[in-house]
Amino acid sequence: MRWNGWGDPAKAKELPRAVRALIPLLLGRVRRPAPPPSLAEVRVRPSALTDDDRAAFAAVVGVDGVDHADEARIRHAGGRSTPDLLRRREHEQRVPDGVVLPADHAQVMACLAVAGERDIAVIPYGGGTSVVGALDPERGPHRAVISLDLRRLRGLLRVDALSGEAVFAAGTTGPDAEAQLAAHGLELGHYPQSFRYATIGGFAAARSSGQNSAGYGRFDTMVTGLRVATPTGDLEVGRAPGSAAGPDLIRLFLGSEGIFGVITEVRVRVHPVPAERVFESWSFPDFAHGVDGLRRVAQHGRGPTVIRLSDEAETAVGLAQVGRIGKAIARGASVVTVYEGDDIDARRARTTALLRAAGGTSSGAGDAEEWAAGRFDGPYLRDSLLDAGVFCETLETATTWTGLATLKAAVETALREGFRDAGARSTVMCHVSHVYPTGASLYFTVLAGIRSDPLPVWTTVKARVNDAILAHGGTISHHHAVGRDHAPWLARELGPAGMRILAAIKRELDPQALLNPGAVIPAALPAGD
């Protein structure tokens, strides 16, 4: 992973000519920033880890499992939000005091014990793809902070093909997991945009949702068990496919983002590799008609594996298909559908009837195939835009079908007015990529020509957006999670009693508050009721 951007450095590209032509039309003239420092040019504070600290961790994970070199610290300094990338472009950077690489559950437990004895905060680290500040090197009240990199907890530990279950070590990446399952003729089917780098444990910790969620569900629904290491003991949760044995503790750790413990193993539901895959694109007169179509399909069920709708703005710039941006100025709102598995004819016939009834027209397989080909490439484009001086970020929420249009308008207004008040031109695009019987997600991409330092501008704009989301019934995140960036708004979403529950669990499992300080539960909680 590129240390200060997304993905494989060899895949980084100049902005496509069409996009370069589009930018002045959308944003006016933008200012190309000074080139960022090389990794060797970045300055960091000396590590606060003592020789004794490093020896204590090395006694658990081996000498080669402790790294306090600047390069490792810089590489673990945060996630991949646009603010993260902007900070990675600065000459002075906040980084953890070292990186520790345990190799199994027992070593994770032992590392937590060392951290507790030595008053060192611990940031669990999977693929490094958080976009909500969950990986900030925050030491809280502690003497130092380490990044606990889980990459050595890797691989398919067990498969039960008859039951359709597989157990992965938490540090296994998406592609590794799928490759190992494919050897058994099985698939997990979880494809968030971070798929190529993110880990199975990260998917669980962040309550991820992938692009095939219409077919295979959110990651929440895929997880049938977890093994978790906490500072005060470990636990295994999830014993049966359905249970009424008290509250579902799996769901307590899904979305816990490392604040209660370190997820070390994840048991997931898997299915046979789909034999067939059919692509079909649709065009709707406008977003509202498209939403009506997606609602009908989601409420009927038994439809496509992927269904996503781009609004007029996203359709017009072609962002729905990364490879086509700017090539074709399409009208209306475009929909991508993909069917996997079997009974495709029946599912497609029913979906066709429902989408037609909502005003849709089939537009062939091409756009959907192009979407699939470029489905993981969006983040590369962001790096090129940042290089060109264009601020680019995404954010997301979800609400009921009834509330969707109002929420979309409110977020767009907050973005547009926020940038306008900062003297920046912006353009906002939106898509629906996760549908449920009762509602759907909204995913926004915003481009802005910010002529001053973009970080404080975005902080202000994002706060207005978050306020608008909560004021209009949305959730503060549909699948990006909370991290530190959303924590103050989570407190408003869950209310005082909800936050007291999280704080009580935190105190019980992690009484020294070693784990991921400031994530999910804001450092200063609003006063109780």
Report helix angle 287-300 to 344-357, nearest 10.
Answer: 140
Q: Does 473 bind a copy of itself (CB under 8 A)?
A: yes
Per CB under 8 A, which region of 82-90, 144-152, 228-236, 454-462 contacts a copy of itself? 228-236
Q: Note the Cα 492 to chain centre separation in Å.
A: 21
Q: Which of 13, 239, 327, 420 binds a copy of itself (CB under 8 A)?
A: 239
Q: Does 400 bind a copy of itself (CB under 8 A)?
A: yes
Q: Which of 282, 478, 484, 515 binds a copy of itself (CB under 8 A)?
A: 478
Q: Does 523 bind a copy of itself (CB under 8 A)?
A: no
Q: Which is nearer to a copy of itself, 192 or 449 (CB)?
A: 192
Q: Does 438 bind a copy of itself (CB under 8 A)?
A: yes
DSSP annotation of 332: S
Q: Does 348 bind a copy of itself (CB under 8 A)?
A: no
Q: Does 256 bind a copy of itself (CB under 8 A)?
A: yes
Q: Which of 287, 339, 391, 401 binds a copy of itself (CB under 8 A)?
A: 401
Q: Does 482 bind a copy of itself (CB under 8 A)?
A: yes
Q: Does 232 bind a copy of itself (CB under 8 A)?
A: yes
Residue showing tokens 């990186």: 99
Q: Does 528 bind a copy of itself (CB under 8 A)?
A: yes
Q: Does 342 bind a copy of itself (CB under 8 A)?
A: yes
Q: Please give the order of strands across the beta sheet that includes 66-67.
A: 66-67, 98-100, 144-149, 120-125
Q: Does 467 bind a copy of itself (CB under 8 A)?
A: no
Amino acid at 103: A
Q: Does 289 bind a copy of itself (CB under 8 A)?
A: no
What φ, ψ does residue 356 adopt, rounded to 5°?
A: -65, -40
Cβ atoms of 468 and 413 closer than 8 Å: yes
Q: Does 520 bind a copy of itself (CB under 8 A)?
A: yes
Rounded CA-CA distance 218/511 in Å is: 31
Rounded CA-CA distance 425/423 in Å is: 7
Q: Which is nearer to a copy of itself, 34 or 244 (CB)?
A: 244
Q: Does 93 bind a copy of itself (CB under 8 A)?
A: no
Residues whose CB falls within 8 Å of the CB of residue 209, separated by 6 or more in sequence, listed in order: 192, 218, 219, 220, 434, 441, 478, 479
What φ, ψ does residue 190 adopt, rounded to 5°?
A: -105, 110
Q: Which is nearer to a copy of itself, 203 or 391 (CB)?
A: 203
Per CB under 8 A, which region of 12-20, 172-180, 224-232, 416-424 contacts a copy of itself? 224-232
Nearest distance from residue 222's CB to a copy of itself, in Å? 10
Pick from 473, 419, 415, 472: which is nearest to 445 by CA? 415
